Structure 1
Amino acid sequence: MGSSQPPRILPADELVEEERVPGYRPELYYPATPGQVLNSRYKILTKIGWGRTSTVWLAQELDGPEEMPFPYVTLKLTTADPDFEDVALHELNMNKYLTKDTYFAGSLFVRAAFDHFMATSPTGTEHLCLVFDAMREPLSQFKYRLPGGCIPPSLLKVYAEFILQGLEYLHSHCQIVHTDLKTDNILMSFEDVNVVEEYVKAQDEHPMPRKTIGDRTIYLSHNNFGDLRSYWVLPRIADFGLAHHVDGKRPLRHPIQPPLYHAPEVLLGAPWSYSADIWNLGVLLFELLENRQLFRHLESQKGVYTAQAHLAEMIALFGPPPQKLIEQEKQWCDVPWDRSFPGPDGTWYDTAREYYGGPFFDSKGHFTHTQIIPKDVRLDDCVTCLTGKEKELFLNFVRKMLRWLPEERKTAKELREDPWLYSDLDKT
């Protein structure tokens, strides 16, 4: 099918997407081209994403059965950067655990690669390519298609149940902690195949903007699949590049989670496990319901995230932590990790004390930054779009996740039985 109009040519001096990556080296990226067929099976259509370690493309599967209802896939073409080779291999290794027990219904809500292969560039560089089901967009983008950027409670209950099924599968069947559960890493499915087919047709009529430097063409990605036709799409937990398999041989203690979602045990340097994901989900549900962050006082006067400010707001919302958790900080905060980890400032650290700036509690168990504990902050006041019994049920639901002690948080399986998920909104 021919293009209806020529593509827009971008200025040669304009940095396009992956070119903005610090230390960008074009030869490390696979030079994918629309129309190219990889592994004799996947025809590249359009670029839909990019990052430091990969570019992401929508493709059509060519050798599936004729009656295949949805012949579109996503290709994640990793770079040939030796500094990030472990990242790609780690994700591939996690995929082995993700696909070992797919008879469980919760696997439907986890997005694992169903194929992988090595793609060789014209210059001979090897690139791992992971193949996934094609998805519409991340939840971070999807929610703004809804009024006010908020997911209605009736719909949020459905999505929460699906996400909990996915977490139950990860935790109970795969022994995996995701560690990076956020709206960018929950992908929403397409309403139907027509959405993709119309998008592909539009791309053919209006090709991606691009620029060519030498023998390499860089494309401007297009990942907007148009207006939403139905809210009844499925969320799937994605991106396992930072996930960890729990083998029970040693405690997991190194830094995890985006700052807004840090569980308290992580900040204190104590061991963490599946329950860190549960805390993560509790914070995330507030964000989806209210379209604002639960923790709103996380920065220093210089506008920089600080662990002490985060803990201070936790204390304001949930009261002081149990002595048992404080004792774990004393036990673990100075114990070196298995390896060093880079902080937000680029400095490499060996312990939780160095990384987060602790300890945060003195020898008597008192918080050492009481002056920054926010005043008049109550968890009940953080929920403004629910009232009455419905609000009470929601708060009880998330309180089961937002517990100081990891062992007191409910599991994904237990949370799936919570009354809020099945309450009747019409009776509030």
Structure 2
Amino acid sequence: MRPTLRLLKPLLKAPATLPHHPVSAHVYRSVPLLASDVPVEEEGAPDYSPRHFYPVRLGEVFQDTYEVVAKLGYGGNSTVWLARDLLRYRFPEDRYVTLKVCRSDPPHRAAAQRELALSQHIRAANPWHPALKYVRTAKDAFELAAHTALVYEPMREPLWLFQRYRLGGAYPPALLKSTVRMLLYALDYLHTQCRIIHTDIKPENILLALESTALLDTLAAAERAQPSPRKILADRSIYRSRNDLGPLRSLPRFLRLTDFDVAVRGDGGEPLTHWAQPDDFRAPEVTLGRAWSYPADIWNLGVMLWNLLEGDSLCSGRDAYDAYDAGRQLAQITSILGPAPSDLLSGAVDAHLFYDEDGRLRADYGYGLGRVRLEDTITTLDGPEKALFVDFVGRMVRWRPEEREGAGELLGHAWLN
């Protein structure tokens, strides 16, 4: 047993058979309580079931190492927590970790195990590669009954929160360039060194680096002084997240692409034809049921840039009521890129759902035959800068996957340099 762990053992009071053992009892004083009949955070998920979510408690210690100090967020497949690393608490840069506690039902448990396996593969593929710093991988993992807990380095808020609350909704072009450059480095590493297709690139899955771990000290102190509101039930407490780290003290040094629970290997041998990617950013070959590969990530990133630069989607497939329709999305793409090439439609198992025998869309959703020039969709740039950007994204947003440039090629484009 390591000396530090031997000294800490007496302080960790509960035996291993007792799953909950808060060591910070002060967090339960003056707790604001929420109504028991109102859904809180993860309870609002359409398929929420308490038996699928581990009942993490503030103050709980896992593996005699990680003491939970605040809830950072939640999603449909996990809850996310800030924890102290009790074995490294004297090291300022390593005293905190983020715990992602995943759902236990079979599909989500399998996704967590896949994310862990891919994370280990990413770290081992080329450990000294400089682009690895732009990919967030698990540094540890452990089991909580039927739940997988993944341990990560703490990060700041995701890109969409940064854009909305720190940038007022508008992403400055100069900052966008550095953001895109880092994402392309990440994709180039994943595609060429790891043979991994991310399939889920969106602002929610891009996290900013912390300026200083002092921000986490402040957050932990705020949780002690003013405990987060929570709903206390018979078998668990459901907490409100505390994830506002305050205004930036400096521009982020780097960002990281995260969340590999739906990522896939691109070198598996069998063609990839399953439904994938966020609705708003889905590549046409995925929609049409053709085999897809690394270029799907390039399309995904390319169309996402409109959300950052313009605050709106290029071809989301959504109507005025925000309802997604894949046919509408193909009509939007057609209005910008022109008709889908016949060779793309041939052999696409789902093409008949959207196109007739002559390769015409079955419905144009009001877009008609009119063309929208790509440059006309950009309002935040002008002059040579706009021309360079349009040329840059035009190499990513193309019907045929084989005609899209790879991440490494795009890094040499004049718009980024």
- TM bucket (normalised to shorter chain) is 0.7 to 0.9
Counterpart position of 1:99? 123
Counterpart position of 2:384? 389
Matched, 1:57 2:81: yes
**Letter of the structure 2 residue corresponding to residue 169 of structure 1:** Y
Matched, 1:319 2:319: no
Q: Match of 1:148, SS?
A: coil
The CA deviation at 1:94 is 1.8
User: Cα–Cα, structure 1 residues 14 and 191, in superposed 2: closer, same or farther, change >3 Å?
Assistant: same
Task: List per-residue Cα deviations over 1:76-98 (Å, max 9, x = no partner).
Answer: 11233235322222222222322
Cα RMSD, aligned residues only: 2.1
Matched, 1:332 2:351: no
| Structure 2 counterparts to residues 33-72 of structure 1, below 5 A | 33-64=57-88, 66-72=90-96
The CA deviation at 1:160 is 0.7
Counterpart position of 1:340? none
Partners of 1:271 and 1:112 lie apart in 2 by 27
Partners of 1:206 and 1:402 lie apart in 2 by 48
Partners of 1:33 and 1:300 lie apart in 2 by 41
User: Cα–Cα, structure 1 residues 147 and 95, in superposed 2: closer, same or farther, change >3 Å?
Assistant: closer
The CA deviation at 1:184 is 0.6
Give the gaps of 5 or more residues in structure 1: 120-124, 334-351, 423-428
Partners of 2:365 and 2:237 lie apart in 1 by 55
Given that residues 100 and 149 in structure 2 are in contact (C-alpha distance below 8 angstroms), is that contact kept between their aligned partners in structure 1? Answer: yes
Counterpart position of 2:400? 405
What TM-score comes out, normalization by structure 1 length? 0.86
**Letter of the structure 2 residue corresponding to residue 110 of structure 1:** V
Counterpart position of 1:361? 355
1:246 maps to which of 238, 261, 266 = 266
Q: Match of 2:399, SS?
A: coil
Given that residues 104 and 147 in structure 2 are in contact (C-alpha distance below 8 angstroms), is that contact kept between their aligned partners in structure 1? Answer: yes
2:100 maps to which of 76, 81, 87 = 76
The CA deviation at 1:112 is 0.9
Q: Percent identity?
A: 39
Counterpart position of 1:347? none
| Structure 2 counterparts to residues 136-175 of structure 1, below 5 A | 136-175=156-195
Matched, 1:295 2:315: yes
The CA deviation at 1:388 is 0.5
The CA deviation at 1:33 is 1.8
Partners of 1:144 and 1:332 lie apart in 2 by 38
| Structure 2 counterparts to residues 226-237 of structure 1, below 5 A | 226-237=246-257
**Letter of the structure 1 residue corresponding to residue 216 of structure 2:** V
Partners of 1:299 and 1:209 lie apart in 2 by 35
**Letter of the structure 2 residue corresponding to residue 109 of structure 1:** Y
Q: Match of 2:64, SS?
A: coil
Counterpart position of 1:426? none
Q: Match of 2:93, SS?
A: coil
1:110 maps to which of 135, 143, 146 = 135
Matched, 1:414 2:401: no
Task: List per-residue Cα deviations over 1:328-354 (Å, max 9, x = no partner).
Answer: xxx231xxxxxxxxxxxxxxxxxx46x
User: Cα–Cα, structure 1 residues 250 and 126, in superposed 2: closer, same or farther, change >3 Å?
Assistant: closer
Counterpart position of 1:307? 326
Q: Match of 2:184, SS?
A: helix
What TM-score comes out, normalization by structure 2 length? 0.88
1:279 maps to which of 291, 299, 309 = 299
**Letter of the structure 2 residue corresponding to residue 226 of structure 1:** G
**Letter of the structure 1 residue corresponding to residue 62 of structure 2:** L
Given that residues 59 and 68 in structure 2 are in contact (C-alpha distance below 8 angstroms), is that contact kept between their aligned partners in structure 1? Answer: yes
Task: List per-residue Cα deviations over 1:73-121 (Å, max 9, x = no partner).
Answer: 11011233235322222222222322112211111111111110112xx
Matched, 1:216 2:236: yes
The CA deviation at 1:258 is 1.3
Give the gaps of 5 or more residues in structure 2: 1-23
Counterpart position of 2:43? 19
1:9 maps to which of 16, 27, 33 = 33
Given that residues 295 and 404 in structure 2 are in contact (C-alpha distance below 8 angstroms), is that contact kept between their aligned partners in structure 1? Answer: yes
Partners of 2:214 and 2:226 lie apart in 1 by 18
Matched, 1:183 2:203: yes
Partners of 1:361 and 1:3 lie apart in 2 by 60
**Letter of the structure 1 residue corresponding to residue 33 of structure 2:** I
